[in-house]
Amino acid sequence: MMKLPLTVALIGSAMTGGHSGSRSSIADRMSTSQMDFSQGEKIYEGASTFHMIPISAGIGLRINFTKRWSLGVGINYTYLRRRFEGQYDYGGTENYQCDNISNDQHYIGIPLNAYYNIINGGKLKFYAYAGGAIEKCVSNSYSFKYYGYDKVLRQSVGGIQASVDAGLGIQFCINDRFGIYLDPSFRYYFRNYLQPKSLRTTQPFQINAELGLRWEL
């Protein structure tokens, strides 16, 4: 009988090293970025960027084909945030200096992974998995103080962000249908020049950790 495990996951992602944020790389600091907006306004990004840890949540299905092999697919939401210093070009005679610009990015993604059960005991499951994901940035905004007022600029993002991952997982089964799992993994984000600057573009190779609850229907 085929089982359809319904997985509800809360996911936390961290860059290699596990810091709460990071300065951009040396190569990233060597250039100054320019963001153009539909109103003719511009933001010129300064030298350093501080990245926050990405936060994700998702839901998915895992289909068992054999006792060892299964396939998982789902939908995830990811929130990325970074802060940087820069200048706001509002079309005046000189640019406005901004000490703290926040860039908020919201992604919706579809992950697809193949799983192989190494240990499939009564209370403990240990498995390996590999796969990838495609994600679409649905919101990309920049917010800062402009003469004491809150200013928000929005920028559309084309294309998709693709990535691959591989890792090991462990599940503690509370009963026959319910368990708690932890899936650490390595993930690599492919370069796409249509995507806004983020932790993924600065450091495409990352260590992730997924923690969640799993029900078997």
DSSP string, 48-93: EEEEEPPEEEEEEEEEESSSSEEEEEEEEEEEEEEEEEEEEE-SSS
pLDDT of 127-140, one tens digit each?
999 999 999 999 99
What does pLDDT average to over the chain?
A: 83
Cα separation, 196 vs 35, in Å, equals 9
Beta strand 69-89 with 34-36: parallel, antiparallel or unpaired? unpaired
> Residue 15 pLDDT more than 60?
no
17, exposed or middle or buried, with CB in 10 Å at 0-12, 13-18, 19+? Answer: exposed
pTM of the model: 0.84
Residue 52 has pLDDT above 50, yes or no: yes
Report how far residue 201's alpha carbon sits from residue 164's, in angstroms, rounded to the nearest whole number. 14
What pLDDT was estimated at residue 217?
63
Q: Give the pLDDT of residue 63.
A: 86
Comparing CA positions, the residue from 118, 116, 201 lying closest to residue 157 is 201
